[in-house]
Chain A
Amino acid sequence: MAVPQRLPPVVRQLASDRLGLARAAQTKRSRQLKARIVDADRVVQSICPYCAVGCGQRVYVKDERVIQIEGDPDSPVSRGRLCPKGAASEALVNSPKRESRVKYRRAGSSDWEYISLEQATDMIAERFIKSRRESWEQEDDEGHPLHRTLGIHFLGGATLDSEENYLIKKFFCAAGALSIENQARI
């Protein structure tokens, strides 16, 4: 029979749980415990960033912060399951090791310095144009058209979205910086 929970456990146990092994020992916190994802602000369906199986993930967000990432039971590919890396996605996204500010190393310097994102974009654009101009090849030595530069090399892509790959290929081709490569060949 229900025993008023405000009584101290030692009294509660006399009423209905003499050995004190079950409800009598339960605290208010335990009674009102709930899963932290129940009151998440929103749930988003996503895909694991690690390997190419493409497991479905559910991302729970509260106060604009990812509080949990677990498998997406709707996915016909993974049926709600994840591997250790996929299960660690929340720890990846919230890893203390993650850097969130732009850093710059001056030529010859022995340490980083912080610069703004805008400044970095401008400096990189300058260098891109300068290097492109310096190493531009309009034609080969027999006059065949090249209109390219091999002075700039881009590496990366397999961890990027297809849309990102598309814009990178589009822009770098237009710029003649055709040497772009990614892990597909690694």
Chain B
Amino acid sequence: MSVDDGRAATWEGNPVRSYHEQPVLKKPIWTWEIPTYFFTGGLGGASAGLAQLAELQGNGVLARRAWTTAAAAAAVSPTLLISDLGRPKRFLNMLRMFKVSSPMSVGSWILVAAGTCNATVTLNAWTGALPRLRQIAAPAGALLGLPMSTYTAALVANTAVPAWHEARRELPFVFASGAALSAGAAALITTPPAYAAPARRLALGAVVCEMVSSMMMEHRLGEHARPYKEGLAGKLGWARRLSMVAGAAMLHRRGESSHLAAAGAGSMLLAGALAKRWQVFRAGVQSATDPGNVIGPQRAAVERGEGHGAVRR
């Protein structure tokens, strides 16, 4: 309504002045590939870690399957990222520079490194080639898997989107627990229960961590948590919670005895992890496009004297 200066935009329930209720920020232009990549990136990263540790523990069956999962994820992830680009043919420009100020730049280099490690391990696993190189690639891949699973949280946190930026301290942990959960769940599906004890422990532990870290995040976010609970993001949040609880319950009761049950639980947990990434992504979009969400807190900060001095009278 152009007649007055915008009433519909609100923050903490009271009206916020805006420009014809237009959003201040732009809607992030990323599409479905990006939240999906958050999932596959986490899956690949944590699976590499799991595989390496399983190897150290001598559980070759679990290790081989986890390496396969990591390699698959490492293969899918770049294709997702490239297809999301506005100009896919220019994907190599990601390596044109190394910018420490850009999580996406750092992430790209990590992805390349982790990718080559996984490729080496997989090549070796299938053809036995490059054995000495494999010795280095495996632990390196596992180590690189850690930042690979969490840099994506840094990427979204390092934006102007309130729902992401205000959650910068918790999001990495949410993504880390999500990654662990994905790795565990994947292992449940691929590995016979006899060898999958670590996977079961990992999955159950990760579910707990994920639930806790998510609750802590939304609690600390306060009003900024609204986008996580409303609209499509809210629905995705419920879907995640249901599938995780169901998956964990099934895993706990019959995960050990029947591979089928474990696989069922695993896929529900995987679905839960994916839904979580979509929820976080969706919440960001909703947060960016709501002017009240951007102006409200900033105006309040200025009124409290905690602003950064954009205006001088």
Show the binding face of A for B, using Cβ within 8 Å: 8-10, 13, 19-21, 24-25
Contacts and interface: CB of A to CB of B under 8 A. Distances in A.
A19 B98 CA distance: 8
Interface string B81-100: 00000000000000111111
Contacts of A9: 96-97
Contacts of A21: 99, 101
Interface residues of B, number: 7
Contacts, number: 19
A24 B99 CA distance: 11
19 contacts: A8-B96, A9-B96, A9-B97, A10-B95, A10-B96, A10-B97, A10-B98, A13-B97, A13-B98, A19-B99, A19-B100, A19-B101, A20-B97, A20-B98, A20-B99, A21-B99, A21-B101, A24-B97, A25-B97
A166 B305 CA distance: 70
Given A10-B98, A21-B99, A25-B97, 10 more contacts: A8-B96, A9-B96, A9-B97, A10-B96, A13-B97, A13-B98, A19-B100, A19-B101, A20-B98, A24-B97
A72 B97 CA distance: 43
Nearest to A27: B96
A148 B114 CA distance: 93
Contacts of A19: 99-101
Nearest to A24: B97
B16 to A, nearest CB: 32
Interface in B96-110: 96-101
Nearest to A19: B101
A71 B187 CA distance: 70
Contacts of A10: 95-98
A25 B98 CA distance: 10
A90 to B, nearest CB: 29
A25 B100 CA distance: 14
Nearest to B99: A20
B98, B100, B101: residue with the most chain A Cβ atoms closer than 10 Å: B98
A23 B101 CA distance: 16
Contacts of B97: 9-10, 13, 20, 24-25
B8 to A, nearest CB: 30
A32 to B, nearest CB: 19
